[in-house]
Amino acid sequence: MDSFVFNKFAGAFLGTALVVFGLGELKNIIYHAETPEKPGFIIEVAEAATGEAAGGGETAKESLGTLLAKADPAKGQAQAKACLACHVFEKGGANKTGPDLWDVVDRPIASHEGFAYSDDMKSHSGDKWTFENLNTFITNPKGFVPKTKMTFGGIKRDQARADLLAYLRTLSDSPKPLPAP
């Protein structure tokens, strides 16, 4: 009887010891699995950054701030010829098919006096034309405002859009600060 009870305790003890050792081992496995993961990730990011700095990076991965930092407003002015069919860029300029775009950066959306915006554009009126919003809209106007009256296909090349935004930014008495790269 006694040895039977002893065996039960011994068994319980061994079982517990196994679980404890098992957990310790499991922790090691998890810990070891984690260790190589982190440096690997950091290296990947560092490589992407180097690629960008070398100018050989994939443009799709560059932030708008980075693209704007190297944007050329003169090239943007050439891009903007596509807008002149419908927009005026002068201070106090007239609304044509589209509203005057003087000082459009950071202007509240759908706020230009005397222009009859689409309902869909007006639904964004709580927001502003930040560089980000302009960038999204000019990539694909209907992607940002599905029922917009602006019948323009969009500019797909990231750097071309950044050049255009850099030009739009100059159309102001006090150009807005560029977003951080």
Nearest distance, CB of residue 67 and ligand HEC, angstroms? 16
For ligand HEC, the closer of residues 55 and 114 by Cβ is 114
What does the alpha-carbon distance between residue 49 and residue 52 come to, in Å, rounded to a whole number?
A: 5
**Which residue in the set 105, 148, 162, 166 belongs to the binding site for ligand HEC (CB under 6 A)?**
148
Please, which of residues 92-121 interact with ligand HEC by CB under 6 A?
Answer: 97-99, 101, 104, 109-112, 117-118, 121
Q: Is 90 exposed, middle or buried (0-12, 13-18, 19+ CB in 10 A)?
A: exposed
Structure tokens at 85: 């069919």
Report residue 126 CA to chain centroid gap.
20
What is the amino acid identity at position 169?
A: R
**Which residue in the set 64, 71, 138, 166 belongs to the binding site for ligand HEC (CB under 6 A)?**
138
Q: Using an 8 Å Cβ cutoff, are 94 and 100 in contact? A: yes
Torsion angles phi and psi, residue 128, rounded to 5 = -115, 160
Q: Using an 8 Å Cβ cutoff, are 62 and 52 in contact? A: yes
Q: Does 151 bind ligand HEC (CB under 6 A)?
A: yes
Q: Does 171 bind ligand HEC (CB under 6 A)?
A: no
**Which residue in the set 48, 69, 86, 178 belongs to the binding site for ligand HEC (CB under 6 A)?**
86
**Which residue in the set 17, 20, 85, 180 belongs to the binding site for ligand HEC (CB under 6 A)?**
85
Q: How many residues bind ligand HEC (CB under 6 A)?
A: 27
For ligand HEC, the closer of residues 2 and 119 by Cβ is 119
In the chain, % helix, strand, coil (3-state, to 5) comes to 55, 0, 45
Residues of the shown chain interacting with ligand HEC in the complex, contacts defined by CB under 6 A: 82-83, 85-87, 97-99, 101, 104, 109-112, 117-118, 121, 129, 134, 138, 145, 148-152, 155
